[in-house]
Structures are given as C-alpha cells and as structure tokens.
Amino acid sequence: MNKARRNPVNVFAAHAVLIVYTLIALFPVFVIIVNSFKTRKAIFREPLALPGSDSFSMIGYQTVMKQGDFVLYFQNSMIVTVASLFFILLFGAMAAFALSEYRFRGNTLMGLYLALGIMIPIRIGTVAILELMVQTGLVNTLLALILVYTAQGLPLAVFILSEFMRQVSDDLKNAGRIDGLSEYTIFFRLVLPLVRPAMATVAVFNMIPIWNDLWFPLILAPSEGTKTLTLGSQVFIGQFVTDWNAVLSALSLAILPVLVLYVIFSRQLIRGITSGAVK
C-alpha cells in the first residue's frame, strides 16, 4: 500500500458511512428486542429507552408461551430445514459426482437440464405442486415441504458441487480403483470428505431461505400440527395485532434462532458468498 490510497480524511469518511449504515441495518432489530422486555406503558412512552427496573416486564413472552405453540413450530422448522439440507446435499453431491466424474452420452444435456432450475423459481409451479400433493395425500405433512425444498435446492447444489468435484485429483480416485474400491466407496470415502467445505457453503446458502419461507408452508402445510416457525409467527402476530407486548415478544422469538445460527455460521456464509462469486 502506498500513501496515495491512505488518507486520514477518507478513512474517517469511510467509517462514518459504514457506521451510519450499520445503525440503519441494526436499529429496527434492536428496537423490537428491547421493547419486548418492557411494560405496555413503557413501550409507548419511551420506545427508545432500555428496560429499567420499573419498566421491565416479561408479560409478552408469557402470553406467547401460553397462546402459541412455539416449541412445536420451532421443532417443525428444524425438521424441515435439517431434512431438506440432508437430501439436497446427498442427492446433489451424488448427481454432481456423476456429472463431473463420468463421460457418458447426454452428460452436458443433463447438466443443462438440472441447471434450468437455478433461474426459474419453483413457485411458478405452485398450482400443480398443490394438486400433486393433494393427489398423493401429502398435504399438511412436513414431507411435502421437505420434497419441495429439496427440489428447489438441488439445481444450485449440483452446479456448485460439480465445480468443486472437478478439482479433486484423478490420481486419488484411480488409486482407489486400482485398490479395487467400488465407485460408491470412492464417492463416499474419498471424494465426499474432500468437498466438505463446498458442502458447507451449499448448506448455509440453502438454510436461510428454507427456514424463512412463508409461501410453501402457507399453501402446502398450514395445519396447526405442521406450521413452521415463520408461518406460526405470521398467524400469531396477525391474531394479536393489538397486544403489543405479545407481538414484540413473538417477533423477538422469531429473530433469535436465526440470529444465533447467523452468529455461528456467518464466517462460513460470507466465505461461501465471496468464494462462490469468484468462480
């Protein structure tokens, strides 16, 4: 670095812009969480103050816990997200391996076919997806959501994973073949462990949209027993619009798990986005 690009005024201006934007990004989240711990009076009188000894209250959380089945919603979201990620990664990696490893007729065509879904949103087919789920009796089951999210995640997963699998050394795989390993053993024992970072990237990419989706839970699984956290909080907040304590607490409860996951995975996510874009 030389002096031409390091000028104290510029550095100061850069920090000023970034601090202002960070405040804009975090302020709404901060306001919601802070006010969820306050009494109704304090929420309205001093919305920007931190909860003090006289304004602290957990009444909103008590209402939420009593009224909404948030533990069940959370569990549903967890099952759907984890199962979808598992199938996206397993099926995606298998297909990516087939496409990147073997030369067979129709390879390129198959690659293009699977890549179609990267640009075309699966929501366009909603009418027929619902019809299909009704015919197969999968409406109001978590399996319906898992299948839809798996189909939705596969195109990008295959695309990213096959890029990475092309980089796995041929010598390693051929050494395995000479040792008499089957193609399946080569895939599961040799190749999969080597593309673990790419798998993590795909997982983190898919996790947030699946967890946050409102459209498919609303259409395919709106029953009480299968509501996801996103749909559950939507319905709950809709019913309690006038109970500000409950609404703010429900919002905070919905923010919390995502925020925790984000803090754990943010490094992976950011590395994934930055390395993916380089390609």
**Is residue 163 near other proteins by the rule CB under 8 A?**
no
Shortest distance in whole angstroms from residue 71 CB to other proteins: 18
**Is residue 6 near other proteins by the rule CB under 8 A?**
yes
DSSP 3-state assignment of 177? Answer: helix
**Is residue 117 near other proteins by the rule CB under 8 A?**
yes
* Interface with other proteins (CB under 8 A), residue from 42, 64, 85, 95: 95
CA-CA distance, 109 to 117, in Å (whole number)?
14
* Interface with other proteins (CB under 8 A), residue from 8, 48, 108, 179: 48
Smaller CB separation from other proteins, 70 or 187: 187
Closest alpha carbon to 125 in 89, 158, 152:
152
CB 175 within 8 A of CB 124: no
DSSP 3-state assignment of 92? Answer: helix
**Is residue 20 near other proteins by the rule CB under 8 A?**
no
In sign, the C-alpha dihedral spanning 219, 222, 228, 229 is positive
Shortest distance in whole angstroms from residue 51 CB to other proteins: 16
Smaller CB separation from other proteins, 50 or 270: 270
HSE (side-chain half, CA atoms, 13 Å) at 31:
12
**Is residue 123 near other proteins by the rule CB under 8 A?**
yes
- Backbone dihedral region of 180: left (phi > 0), alpha (psi from -120 to 50 degrees) or beta? left
The number of beta carbons lying within 10 Å of the beta carbon of residue 252 is 20
**Is residue 131 near other proteins by the rule CB under 8 A?**
yes
**Is residue 17 near other proteins by the rule CB under 8 A?**
yes
Smaller CB separation from other proteins, 9 or 53: 9
**Is residue 258 near other proteins by the rule CB under 8 A?**
yes
